[in-house]
Chains A and B, each alone.
Chain A
Amino acid sequence: MIIAERKPIDEIKTFVKGKEKILLVACRGCVTVCNAGGTKEAGILASLLRLDAAKEGVPLKVDELTLERQCDPEYIFELSPSMGEKYDAILSMACSIGPQFIASAYPNEKVYPVLNTCFLGGALAHGVWAERCQACGNCIIHKFGGLCPISRCSKSLLNGPCGGSAGGKCEVSKEIDCVWQLIVEKVTSDGTMDEFLSLELVKDWRTSRDGGPRKIAREELLK
């Protein structure tokens, strides 16, 4: 899923500065699962903003609303009844696709992203998420013992590990596992080291972001 985290409160305060009436739009998708932008987090943020406004002695009305998803116009248009309220700002709590979709559906509204969209990943433990994919558009993990060197090696090496791998950790930080250590361990224990060795892959980055913004159109669904 898409992993995101809330922006620092001080940055969010700059979005609402001088505004009297705002709408917080939460999302029930990935950001609910990673505890960043669901109904619960919207509630917490709304209270923080109301408290702060009260402390500063400025008027601020914060409304909250949760959409099923914000990456689909079908759900975005559920906002239409609320648009009569004339909000000074709409703060989307979805991944950064949400505020873009809202802004394009309602061009007259001022829309702000509450979250920083960080990476594609999963939960390692309660409250810990890690990157697992960079959406390169041509998955090759089966050649690397099921591990992704593109997203998990700091240098995206296809013939690693580099000379900085030490004690299972990446040269960049002791907080980062060297994925190449894991790949070597995996292909060794699988007994597939021999076929692995002849690999000398060169990545074709056209399917990645490097080829320009990507789009998929599925013929059979385009009726």
Chain B
Amino acid sequence: MTKELKTKSHLEKVLSLGHFAVTGELGPPRHAKASDVEDKVSHLLGNVDSVNITDNQTAVVRMSSLSASVLAQRKGLEANMQMVCRDRNRIAMQSDILGAAALGINNLLILSGDHQSFGDHPQAKNVYDLDSINLIRTLKNMRDEGRLMSGQELPEDGRPRLFIGAAYNPFADPEDYRVIRAAKKVKAGADFMQSQCIYDMDRFRNFMSRAVDMGLTEKTYFLAGVTPLKSLGMAKYMKNNVPGITMPDFYIERLKGVPKDKQAEEGIKIACEQIEEFKEMKGISGVHLMLVEWEHMVPVIVKAAKLIPRPNV
């Protein structure tokens, strides 16, 4: 699916040329030290096409996604700056979009955001002025129609040329509705979509075949989310404690079958098997590797899954 490019995004170029894209994820630090971001970038550079920079993920205060995105790009790694609807109203979000574009950000990924009760400031007031679908539409109008929500016009050369990202989660409920919600994001203007971590491959296959049938993958690039299991403990934790993630028992059994010090290796092996399947899966344009606080394993997994060298486009 070759398309006319909408932005200067490297990720968009990789996808439009039909390469199997690889994106990474980087969580900014809980302090102001730039070198922390740069160290993480060093593990990802050359191994992914662009990297998601999370926006106060799990509602914990961290360096802002815009700042960390700029730091990553200074080191040569393109950022997919994330923006959640939890902390800003429509004034602040549109303002940050303009600022991000002015600072050379090419990709903006929009999410509802985890509720603040999960984080380190549960006392905070939440905002949710717009939801993610409204914000996707807002950004698309800013870029393509040159208008703010207010109707205020943006000059032709002052529009935020951002490649619009969104998330999809086939594993949340109601199951049948998840593909419809993804369709709403496609309709609102998402150019690429990354999924929540996938473990339940059956449910994912079903979801994707419906997405393909509905023509969604013709309009938007779908990337499959991968987080290798570090240990049996992590698999159990995800099964029981993370809303919106389903964990099949056979992975738990499989990890049980190997000694503790070999479980991480087994987790990587499982992830590689998944990636092999995604490479062949209809409608999937790439993988999104989420190894937050495990960034140094990215080089290992991209090598094992034969995802490098990354295309130089």
**Would B131 and A171 count as touching, CB distance under 8 A?**
no
Residues B143-157 near A (CB distance < 8 A): 149
Chosen A-B contacts, 14 in total, with CB atoms closer than 8 Å, are A155-B131, A164-B172, A165-B173, A166-B172, A172-B115, A172-B117, A178-B173, A181-B173, A197-B184, A200-B134, A201-B134, A202-B130, A202-B149, A203-B129
Which of A167, A169, A171 is close to B114, meaning CB atoms less than 8 Å apart? A171
CB neighbours of A178 from chain B (8 A): 173
B112 touches A157 (CB 8 A): yes
Check B172 against A162 for contact (C-beta < 8 Å): yes
Query: Shortest Cβ distance from A184 into chain B, in angstroms?
Result: 5
Specify which chain B residues have a CB less than 8 angstroms from the CB of A169 in the assembled complex: 243
Given A164-B172, A165-B172, CB of A200 within 8 Å of CB of B115:
no
Task: Identify the stretch in B45-53, B174-182, B301-309 within 8 Å (CB) of chain A at 4 or more residues.
Answer: B174-182
Give the tally of cross-chain contacts (CB within 8 A): 84
Is A99 in the interface zone, CB < 8 Å from B? Answer: no
Contacts of A197 in B (CB 8 A): 180, 183-184
| Contact partner, B134, options A162, A167, A181, A202, Cβ 8 Å | A202
Q: Which 10 A-B pairs have the closest CB atoms?
A: A163-B169, A159-B133, A171-B243, A166-B243, A157-B131, A162-B112, A164-B243, A155-B128, A163-B244, A163-B172
A155-B85, A159-B184 known; A164 vs B244 contact (CB < 8 Å): yes
Nearest chain A residue, comparing its CB with the CB of B184: A159
Closest A residue to B195 using CB positions:
A163
Smallest Cβ distance from A210 to chain B, in angstroms?
9
What sequence of 0s and 1s flags, for each residue 136-157 of chain A, a beta carbon within 8 Å of any chain B beta carbon? 0000000000000000001111
Q: Is B126 an interface residue (CB 8 A)?
A: yes
Which of A156, A163, A166 has the largest count of B CB atoms less than 10 A from its CB? A163
- Rounded to whole angstroms, the CA-CA distance of A101 and B134 in the bound complex is 41
Residues of B within 8 A of A159 (CB): 131-134, 181, 184
Additional A-B contact list (9), CB under 8 Å, known A159-B131, A165-B173, A171-B243: A155-B126, A158-B134, A159-B134, A162-B112, A162-B172, A163-B172, A178-B173, A202-B130, A203-B129
**Looking across the interface, which residue of chain B has its beta carbon closest to that of A173?**
B117
Q: How far does the alpha carbon of A156 sit from the alpha carbon of B196 in the complex, in Å?
A: 22
Q: Mark B159-194, 1 if CB is under 8 A from A, else 0.
A: 000000001010011100100110110001000000
Q: Which residues in chain B, 107-142, are within 8 Å of chain A measured between CB atoms?
A: 112-115, 117-118, 126, 128-134, 137
Q: Which chain A residues border B115 with CB–CB below 8 Å?
A: 154-155, 164, 171-172
A164 in contact with B114 (CB, 8 Å): yes
Interface size class of B (residues with CB under 8 A): 20 to 34
CA distance A218 to B112 in the complex (A): 39
Q: Is A166 within 8 A of B114, CB to CB?
A: no
- Is A37 interfacial (CB-CB < 8 Å)? no
The listed residue (B112, B172, B244) touching A155 by CB distance below 8 A is B112
Main secondary structure of the interface of B (DSSP, over half): loop
Interface flag for A168 (CB, 8 Å): yes
Assuming the A-B contacts A155-B85, A171-B115, A172-B115, are A161 and B172 also in contact, with contact meaning beta carbons closer than 8 angstroms in the complex? yes
Smallest Cβ-Cβ distance to A157: which chain B residue:
B131
In the bound complex, how far is the Cα of B114 from the Cα of A7, in angstroms?
Answer: 31
B 218-229 to A, binary, CB cutoff 8 A, 1 in contact else 0? 000000000000
B-side contacts of A64, CB under 8 Å: none
Q: Which A residues are CB-close (under 8 A) to B173?
A: 161, 165-168, 178, 181
A78 contacts the other chain (CB 8 A): no
Give min CB distance, A188 to chain B, whole Å: 8
Q: Is B40 an interface residue (CB 8 A)?
A: no
Name which residue of chain A comes closest to B174, CB basis. A184
> How far does the Cβ of B141 sit from chain A's closest Cβ, in whole Å?
11
For chain A, residues 108 to 156, give those with C-beta under 8 angstroms from any C-beta of chain B.
154-156
Interchain CB contact (< 8 A) of B128 among A157, A171, A184: A157
Whether B288 is near chain A, meaning CB under 8 Å from some CB there, is no
A145: min CB distance to chain B, Å: 13
Q: Kindly list chain B residues whose C-beta atoms are within 8 Å of the C-beta of A156.
A: 128, 131
Complex alpha-carbon distance, A21 and B167, angstroms: 62
A72 sits at the interface (CB 8 A): no
Tell me which residues across on chain A come within 8 A of B180, comparing CB atoms. 197
- Say if the beta carbon of A185 comes within 8 Å of chain B: yes
Asked if A160 and B243 make an inter-chain contact with CB atoms under 8 angstroms apart, the answer reads no
Cβ of B86 < 8 Å from any Cβ of A?
yes
Interface string of B77-94 (1 = CB under 8 A from A): 000000001100000000
Interface centre among B85, B169, B243 (most CB of A within 10 A): B243
| Cα distance, A154 to B86, chains bound together (Å) | 11
**CA of A162 to CA of B112 in the docked complex: distance in angstroms?**
7
Nearest Cβ in chain A — how far from B169, in angstroms? Answer: 4
Min Cβ gap A201→B in Å is 8
Q: Name the residue on B nearest A185 (C-beta).
A: B174
